[in-house]
């Protein structure tokens, strides 16, 4: 029989540096073909905000790397839990680009960020095993799925899953899509629970589409025609991603809900990856259609993208921490609530997890 798995501790690290949309007014934006836009930056920024909902985002300070943000979030999760760092069986860090210094966009993944976090936390237990997960924006959910599976099968007692990213250092400053991305980290501790506990992880679902979809989010050269120096940056086919997500994410969420034996009426919150406000709203509307049900969108789906931007793997656990700490207006989580975590991103990957708060 599978053991029950609960969340025992959540923490986040939201960088202090605020970057507003107007800070991009003097940027030099180019199209994919290397030609400048005919519209001025004010028009570009206004259209961007209307589509994505983003007004501002957070960037890490120059002396902070992704592993630093991850370690801060990890310590806060431990402080929020009932265990010590030495009790952890695994530390899993989801990211996509490792540590990147402000003066270079070169990716640094060795040693793993998880090992770096263990070092920064001062954990001496050799039994605390560390590894990273590279799974696009759904990386934190995938790490959580792995934590659940290990604990449920009796292979671990306590597993910390962290999502951390400094995307501001891997974007092309001459690509208007660069305004979407941000920095941040958040950590969650999963723990084995007794049979008497009412709640925990109920189910999970994941999928990968890697035919034409594999290039919807990938690395590419700068849009600036005079800066073709071999450096690569995040590049995305926004319309393709939107269409893919709209068709497939709701089905993945429904699959996880069906496995858990819950309906949309049973779900109290859907914490979906903060990629694009309009896209997330469209996904939820599609879910209403798939489930043949309707609920107040603003109550069901918390949003942080307006002020925090898209920090990839960190968006969902950051949102969870903010709600638990009562720092997200009009959203609370109580015992007995059913939550859904869902994400979509480079791969293309989609995953979802259903969780009942004990």
Q: Position of tokens 């991850």? A: 70
The first and second tokens of residue 19, run together, are 């970057």
Cβ-proximal residues to 194 (8 Å cutoff; 6+ apart), any chain? 4
Give the pLDDT score at 158: 98
- The CATH class for the domain spanning 4-193 reads alpha beta
pLDDT value of position 259: 97
Low-confidence ranges of the chain (pLDDT < 70): none
Give the model's pLDDT for residue 304. 97
Please tell me the predicted confidence (pLDDT) of residue 15.
98
Give the pLDDT score at 103. Answer: 85
- The Cα–Cα gap between 289 and 283 comes to 10
What pLDDT was estimated at residue 23? 97
Q: What is the helix (H) or strand (E) element at residue 119, kind and residue range?
A: helix 113-121
Predicted TM-score (pTM) of the model is 0.96
Burial of 230: CB neighbours in 10 Å, binned 0-12, 13-18, 19+: exposed
pLDDT at 297: 87
Phi, psi of 302 (to 5 degrees): -65, 155
Q: Tell me the pLDDT tens digit for each residue of 254-278.
A: 999 999 999 999 999 999 999 999 9
Residue 30 CA to residue 336 CA, distance in Å, equals 50
Options 3.20.20.140, 3.20.20.70, 3.40.50.460, 3.40.47.10; CATH for 200-356 is 3.40.47.10
Tens digits of residue pLDDT in 146-193:
999 999 999 999 999 999 999 999 999 999 999 999 999 999 999 999
Query: CA angle, 228 as apex, 223 and 229 as ends, to 5°?
Result: 140
Where are the CATH 3.40.47.10 domain residues in the chain? 4-193, 200-356
Amino acid 122: pLDDT? 98
Measured between alpha carbons, how far is 110 from 116 in angstroms, rounded to an integer?
9
């Amino acid at each position: 029989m599978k053991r029950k798995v609960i969340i025992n501790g959540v923490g986040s690290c939201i960088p202090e540096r605020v970057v507003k949309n107007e800070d991009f007014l003097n940027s030099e934006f180019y199209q994919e073909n290397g030609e400048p836009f005919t519209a001025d930056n004010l028009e570009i920024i206004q259209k961007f905000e209307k589509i994505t909902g983003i007004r501002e985002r957070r960037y890490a300070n120059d002396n902070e790397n992704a592993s630093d943000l991850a370690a801060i979030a990890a310590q806060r999760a431990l402080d929020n839990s009932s265990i010590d760092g030495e009790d952890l069986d695994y530390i899993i860090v989801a990211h996509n680009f490792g540590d990147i210094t402000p003066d270079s966009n070169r990716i640094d993944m060795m040693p793993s960020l998880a090992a770096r976090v263990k070092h920064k936390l001062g954990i001496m237990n050799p039994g605390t095993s560390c590894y990273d997960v590279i799974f696009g924006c759904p990386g934190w959910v995938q790490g959580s799925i792995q934590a659940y599976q290990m604990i449920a099968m009796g292979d671990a007692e306590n597993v910390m899953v962290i999502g951390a990213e400094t995307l501001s250092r891997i974007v092309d400053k001459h690509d208007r899509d660069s305004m979407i991305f941000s920095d941040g980290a958040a950590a969650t501790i999963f723990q084995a629970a007794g049979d008497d506990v009412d709640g925990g992880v109920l189910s999970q679902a994941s999928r990968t589409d890697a035919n034409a979809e594999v290039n919807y989010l990938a690395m590419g050269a700068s849009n600036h025609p005079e800066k073709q120096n071999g450096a690569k940056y995040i590049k995305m086919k926004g319309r393709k991603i939107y269409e893919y997500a709209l068709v497939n994410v709701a089905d993945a969420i429904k699959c996880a809900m069906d496995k858990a034996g819950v309906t949309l009426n049973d779900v109290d919150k859907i914490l979906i990856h903060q990629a694009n406000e309009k896209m997330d709203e469209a996904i939820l509307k599609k879910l209403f259609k798939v489930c043949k049900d309707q609920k107040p969108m603003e109550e069901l789906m918390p949003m942080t993208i307006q002020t925090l931007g898209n920090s990839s793997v960190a968006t969902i656990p950051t949102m969870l921490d903010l709600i638990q700490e009562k720092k997200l207006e009009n959203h609370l989580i109580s015992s007995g609530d059913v939550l859904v975590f869902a994400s979509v991103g480079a791969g293309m990957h989609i995953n979802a997890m259903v969780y009942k708060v004990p």
